[in-house]
Amino acid sequence: MLVHIPNLLTPEEVSYCLTTLEQSQWIDGKVTAGDQSAKAKFNLQVPQESAESRELGDLVLRALGRNPLFNSAALPLRVFPPLFNRYDEGMRFHTHVDNAIRPLPGTGFRIRTDVSSTLFLSDPADYDGGELIIQDTFGTQKIRLPAGDMVLYPSTSLHSVSQVTRGSRWASFFWSQSMVPDNTQRTLLYQFDMSIIETRKHLPDDHPAVLGLTATYHNLLRQWAEL
């Protein structure tokens, strides 16, 4: 399941992120790559332990918390602290799959990566290339979104970032461990929830059809969720 989430960040939040990132230190993006991915990864990244990364990561987490579409699609149990990267001219990330398990910085815990997310921070007019290319059962999708928009997709997907040929592409990226690890079940619940929302536009909340659909949704979630 691939889901486009428009306007996760407001224009003011995007502007603040870019201003803060301009003042940040940038290091080789291979620091967060696995052995195989490191051979394919050519970009820059803000150190995840830096004050800028923590501040902007908290900003993104607050935006996720207020966004019902993200919570419906990801059903997040845990979210990895958002990271920030950039692709300058000539940089790219060859086809790879994300690591299945990632340690949470500063804790003794780990998270299973079920859902990957890329939050675009650069205006598409400011760079050429840099498409996020995702390969999965829904086909191959090339993604370039407006600043502040986000895409989420299964972490099992092969994906890449095409070479930037002009300008610079800045983004935030992170992973979520879902309460429902199975992508097929998670997709069904998302589609079910979207149908409930649409039904409630036409029927009152206490209508038997709305009550029945809502009850079935929660009973399926109760059956499939792992906490």
Rounded distance, CA 39 to CA 157, Å?
18
96 is in an annotated binding site: yes
Topology classification of domain 3-178: Jelly Rolls (2.60.120)
Mean per-residue pLDDT, 117-127: 98
205 is in an annotated binding site: no
Residues 6+ apart with CB under 8 A from 218: none
User: pTM for the whole thing?
Assistant: 0.94
Q: What is the pLDDT of residue 89?
A: 98
Rounded distance, CA 192 to CA 197, Å?
9
4 is in an annotated binding site: no
Radius of gyration of the chain (CA): 18
pLDDT digits (tens, 9 = 90+) for 148-183: 999 999 999 999 999 999 999 999 999 999 999 999
- Percentage of the chain lying above the pLDDT 70 cut: 97
- pLDDT band at 30; cut points 50, 70, 90: confident
- For the cut 70, the answer to whether the pLDDT of residue 34 exceeds it is no
Domain coordinates of the chain in residue numbers? Answer: 3-178, 183-224
Rounded distance, CA 36 to CA 51, Å?
29
Burial per residue of 8-30, b for 16 or more beta-carbon CB atoms within 10 angstroms, e otherwise: bbeeebbeebeebbeebeeeebe
The mean pLDDT of the chain is 95
207 is in an annotated binding site: no
Among 33-47, 86-100, 165-179, which stretch is predicted with the lowest mean pLDDT?
33-47
Q: What is the pLDDT of residue 136?
A: 87
Q: What is the DSSP string of 181-226?
A: --HHHHHHHHHHHHHHHHHHTTS-TTSHHHHHHHHHHHHHHHHH--
Mean per-residue pLDDT, 189-200: 97
pLDDT digits (tens, 9 = 90+) for 101-117: 999 988 889 999 999 99
